[in-house]
């Protein structure tokens, strides 16, 4: 994930310095690498549960995480398209990069939803890790 964020920071710096036309080849390779790394990356989240019988909310978290990963891939493809078009919308590209960096590839959105879960009984909480490919 660190490499993906570094790549996005490089793209953001290139956009801010207005050097996207000169670095179009490098940016194209960088975006292809970033997209491939994101496809292969496994996201993980820490979640709580009270009993092995009550894990339905974990399925919801997994589905939400898969949806957010798909959105990240969609954003990366859109960013690549904006950067490679001759007269691409640079403001839109900057907005996409900034959004991905601020939310840590949308990981903050999922963690916010997971942290909203509250137990409804007297049972003690157990922690588990959710993996999403």
The two three-digit tokens of residue 13, written as one number: 């710096």
Residues in the chain: 133
CA atoms of 75 and 35, how far apart (whole Å) = 10
pLDDT single digits (tens) 41-100:
998 888 777 666 667 777 888 899 999 999 999 999 999 999 999 888 999 999 999 999
pTM of the shown model: 0.86
Residue ranges of domains in the chain: 2-132
């Amino acid at each position: 994930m660190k490499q993906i964020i570094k790549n996005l920071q490089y793209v953001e710096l290139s956009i801010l310095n207005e050097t996207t036309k000169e670095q179009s080849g490098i940016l194209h390779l960088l975006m292809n690498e970033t997209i491939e790394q994101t496809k292969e990356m496994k996201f993980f989240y820490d979640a709580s549960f009270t009993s092995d019988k009550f894990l339905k909310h974990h399925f919801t978290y997994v589905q939400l995480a898969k949806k957010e990963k798909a959105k990240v891939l969609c954003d990366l493809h859109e960013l690549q398209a904006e950067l490679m078009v001759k007269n691409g919308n640079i403001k839109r590209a900057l907005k996409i990069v900034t959004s991905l960096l601020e939310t840590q590839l949308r990981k903050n959105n999922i963690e916010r939803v997971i942290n909203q879960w509250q137990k409804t009984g007297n049972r003690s909480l157990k922690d588990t890790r959710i993996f999403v490919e």
